[in-house]
Amino acid sequence: MTGIAERATTTTSLTARQLTALRVHLVSDRERTDGVITQLIGEMDAFVSARRDTSTDDEHDPEGPTLAFERSQSEAMLSQARQHLRDIDGALLRMDEGRYGRCTSCTGEIALGRLQARPQSPLCISCAGRLR
């Protein structure tokens, strides 16, 4: 039975060394992103706790609009971080299945430069450009 790196390199021109480096980057990014999510959830919980003891009428509270904006920003950042985590998990799954480095849309090879810049990317440059 072949290893994960060997299977993946049979379907793309990625070497085992390149694949390992990309995996290390993805795992590191996953850990960092998981930490960001934990921090954002903590900040949002603290925000909710702090607001519990004050007026809930944002319209008449002098800090209301600012706090509402900050909460909205935190929610958006949390949503982005969760999506990034899903993208990373998808890339790691494709690695495990030997599909990493192939565009999920056209099945063409994703350029090494793109994978180095965005290792979680499931799409080649052409397909990513078409979907924008």
101: left (phi over 0), alpha (psi -120 to 50) or beta: left
d(CA 87, CA 119): 9
pTM above 0.85, yes or no: no
Print pLDDT tens along the chain (132 aa). 344 444 333 458 999 999 999 999 999 999 999 999 999 999 888 877 777 666 555 555 555 667 778 888 999 999 999 999 999 999 999 999 999 999 999 999 999 999 999 999 999 999 999 987
- Alpha carbons 14 and 19: distance in angstroms, whole number: 6
